[in-house]
C-alpha cells in the first residue's frame, strides 16, 4: 500500500503531464544492495521529489518562441514540513532562477 505522500505525488505528476509538462521523480535516499552487504546513497540530499520542465510561451518580442522553464517540486502531506536540507535546496535553486513549488495537492501546480 502506498503512503499518503506517494498518492499526492502521483496526482501531481498526472496534473503536470496533462498540462504538457515533462515530469520525473527524483529519487533520493539510501538503498541496500541485493545481498544486503552495502548501503548506497542515491540523489542529492534535500533535492526536490519531482523535477519538471514546463513549456512557457515567452514575450511578444521573442515572436512566440517557447521556453522550457525548469521546475522543482517538493511534495508534502497537509501537515508535512520541509527538512533543513530541503530548505537549503529551495534557496539554492531559486537563486538560479528555478521555479520551486511546495505542493500539498495537484491544485498547487500552476
The mean per-residue pLDDT over the stretch 13-35 comes to 95
What average pLDDT does the structure give for the chain?
92
Rounded to two decimals, what is the model's pTM?
0.76
Cell numbers for 108: 498547487
Contacts of residue 95, defined as CB under 8 A and 6 or more positions apart, other chains included, come to: none
CATH for 38: 3.40.1350.10
Contact 72, 98 (CB under 8 A): yes
pLDDT at 1: 44
Task: Kindly report, residue by residue over 28-50, the tens digit of the pLDDT.
Answer: 999 999 999 999 999 999 999 99
Helix (H) or strand (E) holding 84: helix 84-95
Question: What total of structural domains would you count in the chain?
Answer: 1
Contact 20, 46 (CB under 8 A): no
Domain span at residue 84 reads: 4-108
Answer whether residue 69 shows pLDDT above 90: no
Amino acid at each position: 500500500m502506498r503512503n499518503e505522500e506517494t498518492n499526492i505525488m502521483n496526482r501531481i505528476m498526472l496534473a503536470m503531464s496533462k498540462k504538457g509538462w515533462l515530469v520525473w521523480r527524483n529519487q533520493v535516499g539510501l538503498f541496500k544492495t541485493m545481498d544486503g552487504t552495502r548501503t548506497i546513497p542515491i540523489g542529492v540530499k534535500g533535492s526536490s521529489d519531482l523535477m519538471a520542465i514546463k513549456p512557457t510561451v515567452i514575450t511578444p518580442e521573442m515572436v512566440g518562441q517557447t521556453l522550457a522553464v525548469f521546475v522543482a517540486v517538493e511534495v508534502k502531506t497537509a501537515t508535512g514540513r520541509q527538512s533543513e536540507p530541503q530548505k537549503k535546496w529551495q534557496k539554492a535553486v531559486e537563486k538560479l532562477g528555478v521555479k520551486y513549488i511546495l505542493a500539498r495537492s495537484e491544485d498547487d501546480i500552476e
